[in-house]
Structure 1
Amino acid sequence: MKVIYLTLTGQTRKFVEKLQMDVLELNPADPFVKMTAPFIIITPTYDKEVTEVWDDFLETGNNSQLLKGVAGGGNLNFGPLFAFTAKDIASDYNVPLLHQFEFQGNDEDVEKLKKAVNTLGFD
């Protein structure tokens, strides 16, 4: 399964690198990438601008139909706003919220996300 991610500080990239999966870093300056196979999104939590970048990406081509799930990172100090970008995308596009992790995640977070992706049934 392809993993599409966005990073502004590098924390999400550090997490994604631990997954050892097929990845693509989304460029916020040009999010209009057309996908041709199922994928998941891993996103940091920031302001609404990040969600707007994802909306641009997901509204390109058939991307929204190929989205199979989303995971989000953030800071637990955000309280109810922890991983809100991932929660918003999951809700807006009716896909599962696969996992939430703090900062760059840990080994347990990696295993939990990989397990969740495997349950989706896509290679």
Structure 2
Amino acid sequence: MSAALGALVYFSSASENTARFVARCRLEERGVDVFRIPLRPSDPPLSVREPFVLMVPTYGGGDIRKAVPMQVKRFLNDPDNRRWIRGVIASGNTNFGEAYCAAGDVIAAKCQVPYLFRFELMGTPEDEATVRDQLPRFLAGLADPTTHGAPGTPGTPTT
């Protein structure tokens, strides 16, 4: 594990909206590692071995069954990645109605982790400040042995 507090793992489509949001948060300056889930299946898979929060855009145009991008599903289907997830942040479009940020709902439920934050589309400066300030605090709390920071607790798949 690195000397960082933990990590933010994110997925961004070719539009780069999520990538730009993450860059504006400047999380590395706050001691948070940042990793991107590859866009193309031909790219080498991402392997994360430290506690992380997942940031994901919502897909599906309002269809909750299609809310989680395939690349994110592939990443989380690796048990060695999934065991380290500690929370989720999602972006979405309020035009999706009840499916707004549904990827976060789906992942939080399936991985049994807290849904920490949601924001619309590219986020606002206030959204960036919230993530920049609160994510390092959340990750720092995972180092406390009385919290759920031990590998294999939240994020462990249920059968």
Query: Is 1:119 paired with 2:125?
Result: no
Q: Secondary structure at the match of 1:54?
A: helix
Query: Is 1:5 paired with 2:10?
Result: yes
Structure 2: stretches of 5+ with no match in the other structure: 1-5, 28-32, 61-65, 144-159
The 5-angstrom pairing of residues 12-51 of structure 1 reads 12-21=18-27, 22-28=33-39, 29=41, 30=43, 32-47=45-60, 48=66, 50-51=68-69
Percent identical across equivalent pairs? 30
Partner of 1:83: 101
Whichever residue aligns with residue 16 of structure 2, its letter is G
Structure 1: stretches of 5+ with no match in the other structure: none
| Inter-partner Cα distance in structure 2 for 1:106 and 1:49 | 22
Residues 65-102 of structure 1: CA deviation (Å, up to 9, x unaligned) = 20011101111111111111111101110111111001
On the 8 A contact 1:2/1:24 being kept in 2, the answer is yes
Aligned length: 123
Alignment root-mean-square deviation, CA? 2.0
- TM-score, normalised to structure 1, is 0.86
Q: Structure 1 residue aligned with 2:84, among 66, 74, 79?
A: 66
- Would you tell me which structure has more helix in proportion to its own residues? 1
Whichever residue aligns with residue 108 of structure 1, its letter is E
Q: 1:51 to 1:88 in 2, by over 3 A?
A: farther
Q: Secondary structure at the match of 1:4?
A: strand
Q: Which moved more, 1:110-119 or 1:13-22?
A: 110-119
| Inter-partner Cα distance in structure 1 for 2:94 and 2:67 | 20
- TM-score, normalised to structure 2, is 0.68
Q: Which moved more, 1:15-24 or 1:112-121?
A: 112-121
Whichever residue aligns with residue 25 of structure 1, its letter is R
| Inter-partner Cα distance in structure 2 for 1:95 and 1:44 | 17
Q: 1:51: how far off?
A: 3.9
List structure 1 segments (4+ residues) > 3 angstroms apart after TM superposition. Answer: 49-52
Partner of 1:95: 113
On the 8 A contact 1:98/1:113 being kept in 2, the answer is no
On the 8 A contact 1:31/1:53 being kept in 2, the answer is no
